[in-house]
Amino acid sequence: MDGGGVATYQSRPQLISWSAIRGIAFRQRWMILGVIATALIGGIIITLLATPMYEADAKVSVEPFGNAILEGEDVASQSVSPNQIYDYLATQVEIIKSRAMAEIVAEDLKLSDRTDLLGKGVDESRPPNITDEQWREKKRNMAVDVLVGSVTSEVPSENWVIPIGYRSSDPTLAAEIANAYASAFISWGSRKTVSENQYALDYLKQQIEKTRERLATAEASANEYARNSGIIVQPLPGVTDDGSAASVTLTGANLANINQRVTDARAARIAAEQRWRSIENLPAAQLPEVQSNQVLMGLISDRTAKQAQLAELRERYNDDFPQVQNLLAQISVLNQQIERSSTEVKAAVKNDYIIARNREKALQSELDSLTSNKLVEQDQQVQLSVLDREAQALRDQLKALLDRYNQINSAANVQRGEVTRLDAATVPTSPYSPNVLRNMALALVLGIAFGGALAVLRETLDDRVRSLEDVEERVGLTLLGYTPHVAERDFEAEGSNRFSALMEAYSSIRAAIDFSLPRGRTVLQLTSSQASEGKSTTAVILSELFASLGRKTLLIDGDLRRPSVAGLLDVERPKAGLVEVLLGHLSLDDALLKGIHDNLDILPVGEIPPNPTEILASPAMREFLERERDNYDLILIDCSPVLGLADAPVLSRLVDGTVFVLEANRVPYGQVRSAVRRLKFAGANILGLVLTKYRALEAGETYSYQYEYYRYDNNRSGR
């Protein structure tokens, strides 16, 4: 916008307003510079008082890829995955900075018995009632704490060389400890291997003893259960499908034997029964066994011979013949013998059948008994199998533990060294701290940060009007224009030069008032929230500008408490003025100051009345303005401030418009809004707001470019 012109600002919310930042920095510049200067001085003092610190660095080369050869094994690669190399190096760095590594260094250098690390006065702080060993241990822990806090190491980004540094006020001690750290780190792998192997052996010993005890308990439980259950296991030749030795219980073996015998007996019984059933109804003489019996055949032959002899004798003799009787007796005896023998043969077949049947029944009964026992034994064998499997698992576990123990105990770990010393630490010749440039840079940064924070805090608590963008939004009035801040010594020169930035700003304000003031409305009031905001100066300059346009203008000094128009015009304040005209003690022509500017009449204030509010609210004031409205093209009234006084609100009812004058960077927004509310409550027609003494730099903006066009000098007079 052009300087002082009417502008309508629209709020554009921003996360960061650079103009606001510039404004804060300019307004709080002295405080910020003071804080920065204090920080720099503090940094210099701290730097000068700080103890010089030296840092010695040793370098070790780490090889992430290594091989380990174990006895009885092939070469096993111990390489690190390429995508884990950074993690591996970071782990090595953390090992270097660990407390465990510090304890090794403290033990290697006997730092608990030395005073160069902990100081010569460390023994003076020895607590009472503590043994030498306890005090030595306490000093060792103190030395470890110092080492942990002073060792440095970083993860390399482009190589596998790890720097190991140590910081101390003693350069020789720094180099010694850095080298000790490098040596301890190099030997860390061997110490770790020995420690891990010993730990593994101790652990395996414990596990072996526990497993042996558990195995003995498991075997005893299995044997005890088998004894109580009567389960006797007999080994068999060969192996089972799962590779274990074949075996059978005594009950199982007996059952198999009896089962076979029952099968055989059943077959024998069936055969005997079939034989008996086939001859049961046949005469004994017809039996094949009888016919094939040699004894019976001999008896039958004797009987046949006797019967032949009997037939011959009967041909000659009767049955009473002694020889006949004798033959008959012999034949009878033979018949009995034959009959008895045949019967015995047939009875023998039946007896064989009965014996086979009885034998089968006996064996079947035994088989049933063994089967019942076997079923009970099978249930018992389930539990026995559980106990046997538990014992077998413990045997396998014990064997694996013994094999692992023997392997670790007898293995020769031939591992290639993964860490080698690259550079030994040398005694530093210059301290790394305090670093003057770094400390000053840090002090500067802290000073700027702290100063900025204080500046923001002060600005947060400061609610004064500063920025053009916030005037309309926060006050609620149209911005008619603004005037630049002019030093008091330059004000006269700026006011007399019509092409100065100040006068160009007032010209723009005059034009904005012309646009805002309705036609036929010629009475205008200028007021502010408090005194010394530039309203009287604005009234004088605007009246002159309106008069310079050929418009007959009347400037009334309406501040009946602290009149200032006459002083601004550099004329002596008269004895009579506005009050006397209103009271009718003096005519207007006699009270006017004329000749100061063409077309401009000025009505000053004479004696200050005791009741200014009543005078301004009187009908005489209303009649005066109505009467003179027709005599002048424009009437400007310089009125009292709003806050604390009723003059301006009372007078605002009599005028056609009110211009609110506000000084930038002075009045808080709350006070401005309160004054505006009072005017609006009184019924004032506020045309807009004029911002005076505006400092562009304090608002975070540049101001010179806005009015550079209007600056003329002798060399540019033609442009």
**Domain final position from 139, 170, 186:** 186
If one counts every other C-beta atom within 10 angstroms of the C-beta of residue 401, the result is: 20
List CB contacts of 587: < 8 A, sequence separation 6 or more.
581
- Alpha-carbon distance of 99 to 110, in angstroms, equals 16
Where is mean pLDDT largest: 82-91, 402-411, 656-665? 656-665
Q: Say whether 6 sits in a helix, a strand or coil.
A: coil
Please indicate, yes or no, whether residues 250 and 137 belong to a single structural domain of this protein: no
Give dist(CA 560, CA 608) in Å, integer.
Answer: 6
| Shared-domain flag, residues 387 and 251 | yes
User: Which is nearest to 479 in space by CA: 437, 508, 442?
Assistant: 508
Residue 40 lies in a domain: yes
Q: What is the mean pLDDT of residues 589-601?
A: 88
Task: Give residue 286's pLDDT.
Answer: 58
Q: What is the pLDDT of residue 715?
A: 42
Place of tokens 């646009």: 515
Q: What is the pLDDT of residue 163?
A: 93
- The pLDDT value recorded for residue 552 is 92
Residues 27 and 114 in one domain: no
Residues 557-587 as b or e (16 or more Cβ within 10 Å = b): bbbbeebbbbeebeeebbebbbbbbbeeebe
In a domain, 224, yes or no: no
Residues 152/124, Cβ–Cβ less than 8 Å: no
Q: What proportions of the chain, in percent to the nearest 5, are helix, strand and coil?
A: 60, 15, 30
Tell me the pLDDT of the chain averaged across its residues. Answer: 79
pLDDT of residue 638: 92
Same domain as 516, residue 545: yes
Given pLDDT bands bounded at 50, 70 and 90, which one contains residue 211? confident
* 450 and 474 fall within a common domain: no
Write out pLDDT tens, residues 44-85. 898 888 888 888 999 998 887 654 444 444 444 445 677 788
Identify the three-state secondary structure at position 61.
Answer: strand
User: Residue 204 domain-assigned?
Assistant: no
Q: Is the pTM of this model over 0.75?
A: no
Helix (H) or strand (E) holding 22: helix 18-27
- Tell me: do 555 and 476 sit in the same domain: yes
Which residues are CB-contacts of 153 (< 8 A; sequence separation ≥ 6)?
93, 96, 97, 162, 163, 164, 165
Instruction: Place 302 in a pLDDT band, splitting at 50, 70 and 90.
Output: confident
One domain, residues 179 and 325: no
Identify the helix (H) or strand (E) that includes residue 637: strand 634-638
Same domain, residue pair 57 and 42: no
Say yes or no to pLDDT of 102 above 50.
yes
The pLDDT confidence band at residue 472, using thresholds 50, 70 and 90, is confident
pLDDT in tens, 557-567: 989 888 988 88
Evaluate whether residue 215 is within a structural domain: no
Domain residue limits at 478: 468-713
Please indicate, yes or no, whether residues 691 and 544 belong to a single structural domain of this protein. Answer: yes
Residue 196 lies in a domain: no
- Burial code (b: 16+ CB inside 10 Å, e: under 16) for 628-653 equals bbeebebbbbbbbbbbebbbbbbbbe
**Banded pLDDT at 555 (limits 50, 70, 90):** very high
C-alpha radius of gyration, the chain, whole number: 67
Judge if 586 and 505 occupy the same domain: yes
- pLDDT, residue 540, reads 92
Residue 15 has pLDDT above 60, yes or no: no
- 37 and 56 both lie in a single domain: no
232 lies in a domain? no
Long-range pairs of 395-403 with CB within 8 A, sequence gap ≥ 24: 395/215, 397/211, 398/208, 398/211, 398/212, 398/215, 401/204, 401/207, 401/208, 401/211, 402/208
Q: Is residue 421 part of a domain?
A: no
Q: In this structure, is residue 216 part of a structural domain?
A: no
User: What tokens does 172 get?
Assistant: 């020789």
Q: What is the pLDDT of residue 70?
A: 42
Nearest to 58 by CA among 141, 162, 134: 162
Q: Which carries the bigger pLDDT value, residue 234 or residue 171? A: 171
pLDDT band at 604 (very low <50, low <70, confident <90, very high): very high
Q: Are residues 612 and 707 in the same domain?
A: yes
Is the distance from CB of 692 to CB of 661 less than 8 angstroms? yes
Number of domains in the chain: 4
Per-residue confidence band for 236, with pLDDT thresholds at 50, 70 and 90: low
Looking at residue 5, its pLDDT comes to 41
Mean pLDDT, residues 310-322 taken together: 77
Find where tokens 């149209």 sit. Answer: 478
